[in-house]
Amino acid sequence: MATKRSEPIPAPLHDLTAPASGYEAGQKEAAVFAGGCFWGVQSVFQRVKGVIDTVVGYSGGSAETANYRTVCEDWTGHAEAIEITYDPSVVSYGTLLRIFFSVVHDPTQLNRQGNDIGTSYRSAIFTVNEEQARVAQEYIRQLDAAHIFLEPIVTTVQPLGTFYRGEDYHQDYAVHNPQNPYIQVCDVPKVAALEQQFPDLLQPYHLR
């Protein structure tokens, strides 16, 4: 299990930042993460300053199996994932990774998050280029070497094949269903942890 923390984990020693990485003004970048049920992952990242848009969906499998019913059967190869569009001049890729490992999920749980069990709930980083892969892999080694968590990180890092958008009723699910018991128990604490650990990165979220 990951250690419950009141302070954020260390920042990556190596990062992709603007303008050092050659980003142009107004440029948008994408990041794709899987960290358990995509409702909670989205509820965190949509509140991060510099994040322009978030979409929940599936990655790791094929188009023919990219739907909630088959993914939940846990044979498709898909993970519930989130595609993040962000402004690298406001928030870096490494900062998104820091939030992913710190408050979004427990990166030491293999093929599960809490009571959600199966490979569709696995911890994964789907990288869109070699630079993202390098930063993510180095950060995992950094956190493991520092023994930030009680157990080794099991997060996989792999190139993004295709991200398949999820069904409309899953988009912004936590915002549309704030009183849902699952949201209250599993996801509200994640947003609270974001507010506590990264107060300078908070932005209000409004349904688009």
Q: Identify the DSSP state of 202.
A: B
Of all helices (H) and strands (E), which one includes residue 163? strand 163-165
Residue 95 contacts residue 31 (beta carbons within 8 Å): no
Tokens of 165: 């958008």
Q: Spell out the domain ranges in the chain.
A: 29-192
Determine the CATH number of domain 29-192.
3.30.1060.10
Of all helices (H) and strands (E), which one includes residue 174? helix 173-176
* Ordered strands of the 79-86 beta sheet: 156-159, 123-127, 29-35, 79-86, 51-59, 163-165
Write down the pTM of the prediction.
Answer: 0.93
Residues noted as catalytic: 37
Burial class (CB in 10 A: 0-12, 13-18, 19+), 89: middle
Contacts of 63 (CB under 8 A, 6+ apart): 162, 164
Tokens of 14: 């190596």
Report the distance separating Cα 184 and Cα 153, nearest Å: 26
What pLDDT is attached to residue 16? 85
Tens digits of residue pLDDT in 36-80: 999 999 999 999 999 999 999 999 999 999 999 999 999 999 999
What pLDDT is attached to residue 3? 44
Number of C-beta neighbours around residue 28 at 10 A: 11
Tens digits of residue pLDDT in 150-206: 999 999 999 999 999 999 999 999 999 999 999 999 999 999 999 999 999 999 887
